[in-house]
Chains A and B, each alone.
Chain A
Amino acid sequence: MSRERDFDEFYLGSVRKVTAQLVALLGDAGEADDAVQEAYARAWQRWDSVSRMDDPIAWVRVVAYRIKVSSWRATVRRTVAHRRHGPPADVPDVSPDSVALVAALRRIPEAQRRAIVLHHLAGLTVEQVAAEVGAPVGTVKARLSRGRTALAGFLGETADDRMTGEHSYA
């Protein structure tokens, strides 16, 4: 019985965070919910090993992301069309600023978006992001920098003037 309690505690303690991160990654609340539910089901399927991991949340997030990205790439055209023309198909009931941010996130490249969401929303260090996405630390730093600049551009802001040495998005 304590196995169930153990899992339920893990689920209730993490599912909101993981769902929020997946919404930001995928730009679609429905897709995020589906992927997150499937990932937690798989976590329960092999709970004995997942529960012993250093970071089971990272496992669930990576599995949920892979589930969705694979189906994404099969429909690249649709996604591209969405990014170009569409407002977010399905964003939960949140503030206009959040909607704008999710929409802007959808417009930047996948790798930059993933770095930004993991670093700024999930609160991972740059090193942890590098480990999760399987890229060198320097690459992640570059993605973060470019991604934030691009985001600022899409949100109608200029890059902070104090940060010299960086090109503003124009």
Chain B
Amino acid sequence: MHDIDERLAGLGTSLEDAAEVGSPALARSRGDQLRVAHRRRTLAATATTALVAVLGIGGLAAFRTGDGNGAPVGPASSVTTTPTAGSHTSAGAPEQTVSSAPGTPSATRPTAIGGRTTAVVDLNQHELTLVDRNGLVMKVLRMTGGSPDHPTPAGTYTVTAKKETETISSQTAGVDGYSIKVNWVVHLDGGGPTIMAATWYDDTVIGVRNQTRGDIGLTSPDAQWLFSNLTVGDHVQVR
């Protein structure tokens, strides 16, 4: 057995020596590409958020339920129900916005990816929408994502594992020392966030603001529901 230990130690050295290593500049340029792509997605998300705000609550409801392609335009009412689009004061403004951003409504409406059940995480709205394989909204859950210091990376991920109970520690999260037992854990591939029951957050956080270290937190009942409705191979889209 001691022999095995020595041989394994030797294997490490041997593989290190044989490793073909690229330049760090190459890794950086690829990283920059990822960052640009991420920024584009973020900008698109911001644009669609503004669009939704301009269209008003009626339009929002239409998108949520995903019933058809009706372009709900009620200029008079939408101006009064515009919480964030302060610059749009004229009645013509909403139409202008719609025409200048073609195709954005389809990016707003959660859709199923690859014919699989898909959880769409909207970091700006603090909502997780589960869409079944036919594109029908199953449920909209309140969530909390990564804080501005630890933003949840946008992207489309695949569920790789589910665990009813798991100990999450600082080693895996990469921040200062903690180790905590969590329930209803859903793991994603490719450096994606982990989804779990965040029992240490209450109603003032979940569904209200992003306060995690990058992972996605749900209330315990919601996390359990999601856990039982997502299977390995399903998709999670973070935007």
Binding site for B on A (CB under 8 A): 4, 7-8, 11-12, 15-17, 19-21, 23-24, 29, 33, 37-47, 49-50, 53-56, 58-59, 62-63, 66-67, 69-71, 73, 92-95, 97-98, 101-102, 116, 120-122, 128, 131-132, 134, 136, 148, 151-152, 155, 157, 159-160, 163
Are B24's CB and A7's CB within 8 A? Answer: yes
Residues of A within 8 A of B76 (CB): none
Closest to A95 in B: B14
Asked if B8 and A101 make an inter-chain contact with CB atoms under 8 angstroms apart, the answer reads: yes
Q: Please list 29 pairs of residues, one from A and one from B, whose beta carbons are closer than 8 Å in the complex, sorted by A's number.
A: A7-B24, A17-B16, A19-B21, A29-B18, A41-B30, A41-B31, A45-B38, A46-B151, A49-B149, A53-B175, A54-B174, A54-B175, A62-B172, A66-B160, A67-B191, A93-B18, A94-B15, A94-B17, A97-B7, A98-B14, A101-B11, A121-B9, A131-B169, A131-B179, A132-B171, A132-B172, A157-B3, A157-B4, A160-B1
Q: Using a CB-CB cutoff of 8 Å, which residues 1-53 of chain B contact chain A?
A: 1-5, 7-12, 14-22, 24-28, 30-35, 38
Contact of A58 among B30, B174, B189 (CB under 8 A): B174
Tell which of B8, B14, B35, B179 touches A94, judged by Cβ atoms closer than 8 Å: B14
B203 within 8 A of A: no
Smallest CB gap from B151: residue in A:
A46
For chain B, give the interface size range. Answer: 35 or more
Q: Does B153 contact A (CB under 8 A)?
A: yes
Quick one: which of B26, B38, B169, B189 contacts A37, CB cutoff 8 A?
Answer: B26
Residues of B within 8 A of A17 (CB): 12, 16
Q: Which residues of A contact B2 (CB under 8 A)?
A: 160
Are the CB atoms of A42 and B31 closer together than 8 Å?
yes
Q: A94 vs B7: C-alpha distance in the bound complex, in angstroms?
A: 13
B61 to chain A, nearest CB (A): 36
Contact B169 A4 (CB under 8 A): no
Tell me, in angstroms, the Cα distance from A40 to B32 when the chains sit together: 11
- The 3 closest A-B CB pairs, nearest first, are A70-B189, A44-B31, A131-B171
Across the interface, do A131 and B172 meet the contact criterion of CB distance under 8 Å?
A: yes
Residue among A101, A121, A131 making CB contact with B170, cutoff 8 Å: A131
From the candidates B168, B174, B176, name the one contacting A59 in the complex (CB within 8 A): B174
| Closest beta carbon of chain A to B140's beta carbon, Å | 27
Report the minimal beta-carbon distance from A160 to chain B, rounded to whole angstroms: 4
Kindly state the separation between the CA atoms of A93 and B20 in the bound complex, as whole angstroms. Answer: 10
Which residues of chain B (96-117) have a CB below 8 Å from chain A? Answer: none
Contact present for A55 and B31 (CB under 8 Å): no
Q: How far is the CB of B209 from chain A (nearest CB, A)?
A: 19
Q: Do B15 and A98 have beta carbons less than 8 Å apart?
A: yes
Q: Does B156 contact A (CB under 8 A)?
A: no
Q: How far is the CA of A83 from the CA of B75 in the complex (A)?
A: 64
- The distance from the CB of B237 to the nearest CB of chain A, in whole angstroms, is 15
Q: Is the CB of A159 within 8 A of B1?
A: yes
Which of B12, B151, B153 interacts with A24 by CB under 8 Å? Answer: B12
Across the interface, do B21 and A15 meet the contact criterion of CB distance under 8 Å?
Answer: yes
Interface pair B10/A42, CB less than 8 Å apart: no
Contact (A43, B19) CB under 8 Å given A12-B24, A67-B190, A131-B179:
no
| Segment 136-179 of B: residues with Cβ below 8 Å from A | 149-151, 153, 158, 160, 163, 166-172, 174-176, 179
B200-239 interface with A by 8 A CB criterion: 232
- A11 CA to B26 CA, complexed, in Å: 11
Residues of B within 8 A of A157 (CB): 3-4
CB-based contact A49/B150 at 8 Å: yes
